């Protein structure tokens, strides 16, 4: 018998959909409150590492994902020259175990759609247009008030409401995401035949030029630059101009940009809540609790792991008490902190132009840690 009968989850992102599904599978009544009016059909690609795939496999969506995405087990490095010369192809660690690929690229809205359908099939109620305004701990539960004035009660509330979490602020945690000093252009474009894995180019006009195949016919490409005031920018021309420094598949990518491929621009942030992630019966997970620059592509992986561990503890425990929160804290905070620190360190080395940094050492140590399930 799970420790709770009803759970409210704020946010229908990766963290919210995963925790809701795990709990609903165990017989808990779960409602997701999502502020957007409808499921998002826009977006770019996502790079999922093995440890993220392990949770998605546990969730029962891996087989459906393989009908859409693109799996690979290596990582290429290219020179920032007009030919885009391949200088190394490195074996990547299969952090989700040998039966799952090291890396899987996917179109974000497709992944979101698969996870959403799985949650609905498990009996999760997903209420759109419900923006959480405030909450109040009432001892053996939480009272939630939404912007439209609805008052709802749950045995437990999970704040999976992302970077600018209302739940985090409402429960008095005053940690906020901090800018890292980098901005990223991302474009969703047709996949040239020679793109069969992620290749990264360090240097040239940008800190990083990279891409990840997301299916037989598509991929996403990205350029990371020093942060500039370009929020909400959708001008593919600027990205095409920056891409002019790179060769190989970038010649095709540049043409797709000039043909009007959709692009977006956003800044990197980092933060981690080092103390407890709960106050009473409200708890935050995913980007609400931590964020990292996607230099190692671990943000969604950490969000999914948070969801799996929280659900597991709620299902095997017969009460919500300090012991449960201590177990959750000890299984999540150190691991997430390590990921945030490593991702931020990599970004800082690039910003500082550090040439002798031990990047392989940093990546290797982290991968060795992530191979061990959360």
What is the C-alpha separation between 229 and 57, in angstroms, rounded? 39
For residues 102 and 93, the answer to whether their CB atoms sit within 8 Å is yes
The CA–CA distances, whole Å, from 89 to 29, 33, 76, 197, 357 equal 47, 44, 4, 10, 19
The two tokens of residue 33 are 């409150």
Binds ligand FAD by CB under 6 A, chosen from 25, 92, 199, 287: 287
CB 276, CB 306: distance < 8 Å:
no
Options 61, 184, 311, 339; binder of ligand FAD; rule CB under 6 A: 184
- Contact mark string toward ligand FAD, 108..147, x via CB under 6 A: -----------------------xx---------------
Q: Site for ligand FAD (CB under 6 A): which residue of 12, 20, 157, 311?
A: 12
10 vs 324 by CB, closer to ligand FAD: 10
Q: 10 vs 240, which CB is nearer to ligand FAD? A: 10
Which residues inside 141-180 make contact with ligand FAD, applying CB under 6 A? 160-162, 166
The residue range among 30-38, 88-96, 172-180, 270-278 that interacts with ligand FAD, by the rule CB under 6 A, is 30-38
Nearest by Cα to 114 from 64, 47, 66: 64
Q: Which of 344, 210, 370, 228 is nearest to 290 (CA)?
A: 344
Q: For 306-341, what is the HEC assignment?
A: HHHHHHHHHHHCCCCCHHHHHHHHHHHHHHHHHHHH
Which segments within 227-365 are labelled E, that is strand? 263-272, 278-279, 282-284, 290-291
Assign 176 to helix, strand or coil: coil
Choose the stretch contacting ligand FAD; rule: CB under 6 A; options: 20-28, 33-41, 230-238, 357-365: 33-41
Nearest distance, CB of residue 77 and ligand FAD, angstroms: 18
Quick one: which of 76, 141, 192, 286 contacts ligand FAD (CB under 6 A)?
Answer: 286
- The residues in 195-224 that bind ligand FAD, with binding defined as CB under 6 A, are none
| Residues lying near ligand FAD in the complex (CB under 6 A) | 10-16, 33-36, 46-47, 52, 131-132, 160-162, 166, 184, 266, 286-287, 294, 297-301, 303
């Amino acid at each position: 018998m799970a420790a709770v009968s009803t759970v409210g989850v704020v946010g229908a992102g990766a963290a919210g959909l995963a925790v809701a599904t795990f709990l609903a599978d165990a017989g808990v009544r779960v409602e997701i409150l999502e502020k957007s009016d409808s499921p998002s059909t826009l977006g770019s690609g996502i790079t999922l590492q093995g440890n993220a795939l392990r949770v998605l496999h546990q969730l029962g969506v891996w087989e459906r994902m393989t009908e859409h995405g693109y799996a690979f087990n290596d990582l290429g490095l290219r020179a920032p020259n007009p030919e885009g010369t391949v200088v190394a192809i490195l074996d990547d660690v299969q952090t989700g175990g040998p039966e799952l690929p090291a890396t899987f690229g996917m179109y974000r809205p497709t992944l979101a759609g698969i996870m959403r359908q799985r949650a609905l099939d498990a009996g999760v109620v997903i209420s759109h247009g419900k923006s959480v305004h405030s909450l109040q701990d009432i001892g053996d539960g939480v009272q939630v008030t939404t912007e439209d004035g609805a008052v709802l009660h749950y045995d437990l509330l999970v704040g999976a409401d992302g970077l600018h979490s209302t739940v985090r602020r409402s429960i008095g945690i005053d940690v906020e995401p901090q800018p890292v000093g980098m901005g990223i252009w991302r474009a969703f474009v047709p996949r040239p035949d020679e793109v069969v894995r992620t290749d990264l180019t360090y240097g040239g006009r940008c800190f990083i030029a990279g891409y990840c195949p997301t299916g037989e016919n598509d991929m996403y490409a990205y350029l990371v630059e020093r942060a500039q005031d370009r929020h909400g920018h959708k001008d593919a021309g600027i990205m095409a101009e920056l891409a002019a420094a790179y060769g190989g598949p970038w010649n095709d990518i540049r043409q797709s940009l000039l043909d009007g491929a959709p692009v977006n621009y956003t800044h990197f942030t980092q933060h981690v809540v080092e103390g407890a992630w709960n106050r009473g019966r409200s708890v935050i997970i995913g980007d609400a609790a931590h964020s990292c620059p996607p230099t190692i592509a671990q943000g969604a992986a950490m969000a999914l792991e948070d969801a799996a561990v929280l659900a597991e503890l709620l299902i095997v425990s017969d009460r919500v008490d300090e012991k449960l929160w201590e177990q959750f804290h000890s299984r999540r905070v150190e691991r997430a902190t390590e990921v945030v620190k490593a991702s931020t360190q990599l970004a800082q080395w690039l910003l500082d132009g550090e040439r002798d940094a031990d990047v392989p050492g940093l990546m290797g140590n982290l991968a060795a840690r992530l191979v061990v399930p959360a």
